[in-house]
Structure 1
């Protein structure tokens, strides 16, 4: 059992081979909490992305540890990104400082998918973040930023309503 499953073990968690964890509580129900562990990938190399944009105005073009290129601009600070919007101010400084209030606010958007790129290495989410998403009937897709950038590009190219919070 990995550490994330172990952390949920006291809460009737079940872990499947596909990377999905289903948990249920008396007052709150979490379902389909997805995480992607890409620790086997050498994250020290940059990643260039190239794919049909699907009409997206804002597209991730590259990722390197510590910075993300969106369109033709490099960002070393956290970004809130959707195919038609980009925000770089008023965001938590790191995944560790991300709070339930931000998750609740983002869950109220029209996005059907909420991605969180937690930095160069995958990090376990605070249960308050998961509870905030569950209160809105939403799922958080939490992964390292390299994987989140790639996932965002694919979803945006498909014309999906995706909101990505990316911590370089």
Structure 2
């Protein structure tokens, strides 16, 4: 699926999604990633859903977003609340959806200049 939102200077944009990759700013990524509204895109949760830890979510909290969009893969899977303590303590919202929906939602929010982070599991 090709995603083509209006480009806002300096804001990361998800430009495409396929079965095995997500493209950010025209660069394809084949592993699970974190996409902050601004700054560097980086690997995240590469071992998959079952291996996620509180440290993975602490890393997201350190980015100080308003909201985290968690793409849990091809289907919706909810993270145990115990892993989300650092987000709750900082009053950072998290929305869980499948990765395709997370990509679309991230682009809408980033396009509104929101401090949003997409944490996307691929594969």
Q: TM-score range by the shorter chain?
A: 0.7 to 0.9
Of 81, 94, 98, which residue of structure 2 is paired with 1:127?
A: 81
| Residue equivalent to 1:68 | 22
Rounded to whole Å, the distance in 2 between the matches of 1:166 and 1:112 is 17
1:88 aligns with 2:69: no
The question of whether the paired residues in 1 share the 8 Å contact of 2:33 and 2:45 is answered with no
RMSD across aligned positions (CA) = 1.7
1:161 aligns with 2:112: no
1:19-168 matched pairs, under 5 angstroms: 47-89=1-43, 91-93=44-46, 94-168=48-122
Rounded to whole Å, the distance in 1 between the matches of 2:115 and 2:59 is 16
Change in Cα spacing, 1:137 to 1:57, as seen in structure 2 (3 Å) is closer
Report the TM-score, using the length of structure 2 for normalisation.
0.86
Any unmatched runs of 5+ in structure 2? none
Report the secondary structure of 1:48's partner residue. coil
Any unmatched runs of 5+ in structure 1? 1-46
Q: Deviations over 1:102-152 (max 9, x none)?
A: 212322323111111111111121222233422222221111110110011
Rounded to whole Å, the distance in 1 between the matches of 2:5 and 2:35 is 17
Larger strand percent: 1
Rounded to whole Å, the distance in 2 between the matches of 1:52 and 1:145 is 20
1:71 CA drift (Å) = 1.7
Rounded to whole Å, the distance in 1 between the matches of 2:10 and 2:19 is 24
The question of whether the paired residues in 2 share the 8 Å contact of 1:66 and 1:120 is answered with no
Q: How many residues are paired up? A: 121
Bigger CA radius of gyration: 1
